Structure 1
């Protein structure tokens, strides 16, 4: 528990370098931070150690209130990337809104243009361990992403998404108030 006191102190020390860092909150020892003036963090955000957070060009990252980001998470943005309030992101997750163009033969992929599409994770989402949330993904409210899933596309509120590529396997039925399998 004492380590969290150090993490809270680190958040206070790093806060002026962010676009916004709400309190209370804490920040475990980061692995790499780039462009954090364009990162806006809400209140009660808990970030565990080894976060790699990169903002390129005119990108932004908005992490809303009461989000938990576990260890070894990599977030990269060159457009708009939003993590909705009360979401939980487990360890070893990758979240981006960038793809690299690859169509120019003979030119290194890193030297080709970025293809940027906004990525939005809705409120109260659960992102399972080892998942990849790719450019252009939009998750509705309270989506559950299974471990090691590779997610791209738009998904409605209250669904369970698993696999590589990810697909919906359950939806919450508001009438019966139960999670139901999808065929």
Structure 2
């Protein structure tokens, strides 16, 4: 528990460099931070060590309250990115709203234009270990993303998403109160 005290002190030291850093939140030792003046973190956000967070160009990242981000997570934004309240992001996850164009043959992909699409994670979502949330993804409320899934597209509230490419395998039925398999 003493390490959380150090993480809270680190949060206090880093807070002025963020667009917003709500307290009480804490921040484990990050690997790399860039453009964090455009990162807005609400209260009670817990970020574990080895975060890599980058904001490019006019991008922004909004992390709502009570979010947990586990270790070794990489988040990169050049557009609008939102992580909804009470979401849990497990270790080794990648979240982006950037794709690189690759149309110009003979030109390095990194030197080609960004293709930016907003990425939004709804409230109370669970992102499994090793998942990749790609540009343009919109997850509804309380979605569950399976481990190692590659997610792109729009997904409704209350669904379980797995695979590469990811697809819906279960939805919550509000009438029966049960999670039901999708065919």
Answer whether TM exceeds 0.5 for this pair: yes
Which string of whole-angstrom CA distances, capped at 9 and with x for unpartnered residues, describes residues 63-112 of structure 1? 00000000000000000000000000000000000000000001000000
Q: Distance in 2 between matches of 1:82 and 1:128?
A: 18
Q: How does 1:11-160 map to 2 (within 5 A)?
A: 11-160=11-160
Q: Distance in 2 between matches of 1:141 and 1:174?
A: 13
SS in 2 for 1:50: coil
Task: Name stretches of at least 5 consecutive residues in structure 2 with no aligned partner.
Answer: none
Q: Distance in 2 between matches of 1:147 and 1:112?
A: 31
Shift of 1:179: 0.2
Q: Distance in 1 between matches of 2:42 and 2:169?
A: 31
Shift of 1:24: 0.3
Shift of 1:149: 0.1
Which string of whole-angstrom CA distances, capped at 9 and with x for unpartnered residues, describes residues 6-31 of structure 1? 00000000000000000001000000
SS in 2 for 1:61: strand
Q: Distance in 2 between matches of 1:110 and 1:161?
A: 30
TM superposition score normalised by structure 1: 1.00
Task: Name stretches of at least 5 consecutive residues in structure 1 with no aligned partner.
Answer: none
Q: Which residue of 1 aligns with 2:6?
A: 6
Compute the RMSD of aligned alpha carbons: 0.2
TM superposition score normalised by structure 2: 1.00
Aligned residues: 183
SS in 2 for 1:157: coil
